[in-house]
Structure 1
Amino acid sequence: MSARAGSTGRARRWFRALLAVLVTAAVVVPLTAAVRPRIPAPSPADLAPVTASTLEGAYAANRANAELAARMADGHGDRHRAAADRALAAPSRRLLSFDGRGSGRAAEVFGDLAQADRVAVLVPGSDTSLDTYERFRTAAGALYRGLTRQAPAGTGTAVVAWLGYTTPATVSATAITPGRADEAAPELREFVRELRGVTGPDPGITVLCHSYGSVVCGRAADGLDVDDLVLLGSPGTGADSAADLRTRARVWAARGGGDWVAQVPHTDVDLFGTTVGFGTDPVSPAFGARVFPAGDGGHSDYFRPGSACLADLVRIVLGETSEVTRV
């Protein structure tokens, strides 16, 4: 068989696989969603734009809203969501925002944001919601602990876990199309803009984007006021190259040796009036990102404590870019 014929055969198999996913998503996902009644929750707290002086008040208002959401979910009989909301309402939690409606949204701070010289914002991938929030929070906490150990004396650090959009289900049409990312991109740009009004003067801001979150970051990159953009376990950004992201930020990429995303075809095709797939592999030389190793870890291991990948992420956030291991 010629190389061209082999390529054509692979393309056809990829096309059939896409159709199968789309049909499954169109039939199974809506039926699954219909089985679970919508969980009642209050509207988000009505707050003015947050500043350093109003930060603690915002945290308190959002905790109170999370507690009310927990009571409403409990009354609805959803103990799992009630427990998740109640955990976020704990006195120690610092919530920049909270919305218990639907799959839920939240932005949680680790550290003293008002005094931070270096800030990391984590953008999650598919299947992240208030119901699965703890695994996302665990990653943010691991990064923050690494920063506090490594930061030079006198350098303030903070991490924000930004669940600021409705993430797609992994097995769904939304996971292989850019619709959710297009909706999230302006939200992420605005969040970073507001963040700069809360922190110390001119902080270094790094956005770390995992999985489908890297599609969000790719869509938001033009106009996203950050110093570094890190793509982890990315299926692609929708751009052919880092230069096409049109960002002043340094663009980094890493993928673990055991990450299943490596098996995803890095291409994009027009199908039924929408784009399916996200284009060039961000760890390929053709993309042009600053690639660093992520070891043999899987799709959820980029923030694993003690890993070389986490150590390099800490260096990037702290601006120690010359110390980052490069592939």
Structure 2
Amino acid sequence: MRPGTTAGWRRRASRWCRAGGAALIVGSVAFPLSGAARPQIPAPAPAALAAPTAGTLDETYAANRANAAEASRMAAGHGDRHRAAADRSMADPSRRLLAFDGRGAGLATEVFGDLARADRVAVLVPGSDTSLDTYGRFRAAALALHRQLAAQAPDGTHTAVVAWLGYETPGTISTTVATTDRADRAAPKLRALVDDLRGITAPGTRLALLCHSYGSVVCARAADGLDVADIALVGSPGTGAGTVAGLHTGARVWAARGADDWVEHVPHLSADLFGTTVGFGTDPVSPDFGARVFDGGDGGHSDYFDAGSLSLTNLARIALGEITEVTS
């Protein structure tokens, strides 16, 4: 492509935008953006339920759908039609909700597939800017992963995906996205989810964590002793640990970055500022970190779970335990 052509200018502009976006993320720690806080949307407290088992899953799903329906009515009464619609969608009889909390930004844990019969379970952990209001895109990623697992699984293998929006994610441009604070608070909740899944699934069921963007920080903070076979980090800004050994996990740790992912431009540094640790240290796809680096394809930061993508194919192979088939 000759310099000066329209395509060339677009390519350079894309690079400048990605680098600028990365600079904004880092700069937001020292220069936070201000704005009016969104008014709190009324919602009921989460349903009070015992830890789920294979025999009580249907009751758990039904109770959380009922809670979502009530949250929808309360949001509508408050005048928030967007949240009311999001909650109402959650209450659809087809949805399988292990957990639901319509308060604040909202939390939800949704199951795709027959969890009680699954031999392979992939837990999808989202990154920044994921809430009930933006849940549709996260759900689309989980659905794409579930379809890919079903397509690639050997005959007789049952699969399930758990979409875990179980923590308050940071905003992409915020003071929280460049620290481990949200991840540190989320880690016990992720460990509790894995414990619940072990109580639902049959002995020997293979669990894998597939962690996107800031979700990789959450997975890293939860990794110590966690009963999972694999942890895959995609589009990761870092983990807060210098090496895989620093995660204190017996799981295989994988990492990938798409060729067009702007996270490449985020400085992989860590420093103590204003009473907190800013930055996440070693790049997870670098040799120094020690992860099993796999091919993340040609996509950008939001493309890892696109249908037909190489990254999705490799993530499904990891979740299925087909580790010799993962391309690097």
CA RMSD of aligned residues (A): 1.3
Unmatched runs of 5 consecutive residues or more in structure 2: 1-22
2:36 corresponds to: 32
Q: Quick one: which amino acid aligns to residue 144 of structure 2?
A: A
Scaled by the length of structure 2, the TM-score of the pair is: 0.91
**Is 2:257 the counterpart of 1:255?**
yes
Q: Quick one: which amino acid aligns to residue 214 of structure 2?
A: Y
Moved more, 192-201 or 92-101: 192-201
What is the correspondence of 1:51-62 to structure 2 with a 5 Å cutoff?
51-62=53-64
- Residues in 2 aligned to 1:312 and 1:248: alpha-carbon distance in whole angstroms: 21
- Residues in 2 aligned to 1:66 and 1:224: alpha-carbon distance in whole angstroms: 30
CA contact (8 A) 1:52 1:114 kept: yes
Q: Deviations over 1:81-127 (max 9, x none)?
A: 01110111000000000000000000000000000000000000000
- Residues in 1 aligned to 2:204 and 2:109: alpha-carbon distance in whole angstroms: 21
Q: Cα offset for 1:24?
A: 3.6
Q: Identify if the C-alpha distance between structure 1 residues 120 and 18 changes in structure 2 by more than 3 Å, giving closer, same or farther.
A: closer
CA contact (8 A) 2:25 2:174 kept: no
SS in 2 for 1:160: strand
Q: Deviations over 1:43-102 (max 9, x none)?
A: 000111100000000000000000000000001000110111011100000000000000
Segments ≥4 residues shifted beyond 6 Å: 16-19
- Residues in 1 aligned to 2:122 and 2:145: alpha-carbon distance in whole angstroms: 9
2:73 corresponds to: 71
CA contact (8 A) 1:189 1:223 kept: no
Q: Quick one: which amino acid aligns to residue 238 of structure 1?
A: G
Q: Identify if the C-alpha distance between structure 1 residues 186 and 312 changes in structure 2 by more than 3 Å, giving closer, same or farther.
A: same
Q: Identify if the C-alpha distance between structure 1 residues 24 and 76 changes in structure 2 by more than 3 Å, giving closer, same or farther.
A: farther
Q: Cα offset for 1:223?
A: 2.4
Q: Cα offset for 1:201?
A: 1.9
What is the correspondence of 1:168-317 to structure 2 with a 5 Å cutoff?
168-317=170-319
2:28 corresponds to: 21
Q: Deviations over 1:232-277 (max 9, x none)?
A: 0000000001111110000000000111100000010111121100
- Residues in 1 aligned to 2:50 and 2:243: alpha-carbon distance in whole angstroms: 38
2:19 corresponds to: none
1:163 corresponds to: 165
Q: Quick one: which amino acid aligns to residue 128 of structure 1?
A: T
- Residues in 2 aligned to 1:22 and 1:125: alpha-carbon distance in whole angstroms: 17
Scaled by the length of structure 1, the TM-score of the pair is: 0.92
Unmatched runs of 5 consecutive residues or more in structure 1: 1-15
CA contact (8 A) 1:294 1:308 kept: yes
Identity %: 68
